[in-house]
Amino acid sequence: MTQNSSKNPWIWVPSLYLTESVPYVIIITVSVIMYKSLGVSNSDIGLYTSFLYLPWVIKPIWSPILELFGNKKQWFLSMQFILSLAFLGVGLTTGLNQFFVITLAFFWMGAFASATNDIASDGLYLIALKPDQQSFFVGMRSTFYRVGMITGQGLIVIAAGYLEETFGDPTQAWSWTMIGVGGLMLLLTVINFLSTPNVIEKRVEKADRPSFGEVFSTFFTKNNIGISLAFVLFYRLGESQLVKMASPFFLDERSEGGLGLTVSEVGFLYGTLGVIALLVGGIVGGIVISRHGLGRWMIPMAIAINAPNLGYVLLSWQQPESFYFPAIVVLIEQLGYGFGFAAYMVFLIYLAEGLFKTAHYALATGFMALGMMIPGMISGYMQEWLNYPGFFLWVVIATIPSFVMAYLVKYPREFGKKLES
């Protein structure tokens, strides 16, 4: 395969993964805040927005289609354009009487487009970069994916809150916010059209082309697939619950066990301090794996992604009035997350090795989504049952399987190490 050498991965890797994460966080997280502001009941919000996870869980079912037909760049550009239209549709229909049903339909359309965009974007990353480049840029890629999530959870939500105060009308505020998100997606689509490389993809001859089922089933015949999938499901068992309840903890009143921070303060925590720490952690994580291989860093990175959860236990016990204590906790947690997530992403690349990289990577990330969805669904019930101090202590206990899996999982210790020239 060949590619246009003028396309610099330092440019297209960040933009491509920013375009993966922004729609995901809007659909999964920001939709909850929007519906709450527009007066939808908590029961309806919890039930219907949880189902929006489903396309990411089941995306492996149609991933072989992208492997066998079409061009990865054409696929993700088409999906990104559909996402622009979906968010525009949400923005234009928030004022209708049946807005909940109609906007959910647009979010569903966006969810399937976003999941398909993920498959195609990851496929281009795997075929356009050499193995040592993949390891080197995994920190950059995971960092900008997280930056996109923070942009949605922080900057876009803050913008919506500002518009609510300006207009005095949540419906109008969220309408303009979602129209703006549609415009942002269109801009990112244009950037990716200009910056991503044109790759000639290796194809199996038509006469020898495997069936849909063969592409799918070969994933489950990989060596040590059972322990590998257990690692994918349990590496973030604690973090998958923490991420759902961290913002509510910061925003809840002190009488309810929270810290009583404002939306602006939470936006500052994640949108400035968090971004800086995440950038540093993610980039350093990718670099050290490319120098020494995954084997040396798996356990240290498991510690880095899980140990900072202890900070939330201290915050919930002490409920400090100072803003600096939660700022330090978020700084350390985001630094550790960026560093520790690099090992997870490199392992997913290893798990996808073989002829059908795109389809197998989609399968791996489908299990990754399942590992986030199920614990996240129970996190709210666990918090209400245990209250914040007990919940964060439970989160720490839930990190134990992560260390067990990191120790047991099988992979070449040198995988990800940059080849010596």
Q: CATH code at 5?
A: 1.20.1250.20
| Same structural domain, 349 and 255 | yes
**Closest alpha carbon to 349 in 290, 275, 280:** 290
- 209 domain-assigned: no
* 235 dihedral zone (left: phi>0; alpha: psi -120 to 50; beta): alpha
| Same structural domain, 160 and 255 | no
pLDDT at residue 366 in the model: 83
Determine which helix (DSSP H) or strand (DSSP E) holds 225, and give its type and residue range: helix 225-234
| Same structural domain, 186 and 234 | no
Displacement of CA 123 from its chain's centroid (Å):
16
d(CA 232, CA 55): 18
Assessment of whether the complete model's pTM goes beyond 0.85: no
pLDDT at residue 42 in the model: 52
| Same structural domain, 167 and 226 | no
d(CA 26, CA 111): 10
pLDDT at residue 20 in the model: 92
For the chain, the domain total comes to 2
| Same structural domain, 328 and 391 | yes
- 291 domain-assigned: yes
Question: Which two tokens mark 202?
Answer: 């290796």
d(CA 357, CA 371): 21
pLDDT at residue 390 in the model: 95
Handedness of CA 200, 206, 208, 210 (dihedral sign): positive
d(CA 351, CA 367): 12
pLDDT at residue 4 in the model: 47
| Same structural domain, 232 and 316 | yes
| Same structural domain, 121 and 235 | no
| Same structural domain, 135 and 30 | yes
Residues of the domain holding 398: 218-412
| Same structural domain, 185 and 310 | no
N-terminal to C-terminal alpha carbon distance within the chain: 21
Q: Which residues of the chain have pLDDT under 70?
A: 1-6, 41-44, 46-47, 67, 131, 200-212, 262-264, 267, 271, 419-421
Three-state helix/strand/coil letters over 65-130: HHHHCCCHHHHHHHHHHHHHHHHHHHHHHCCCCCHHHHHHHHHHHHHHHHHHHHHHHHHHHHHHCC
| Same structural domain, 146 and 222 | no
| Same structural domain, 339 and 372 | yes
| Same structural domain, 132 and 246 | no
- 419 domain-assigned: no
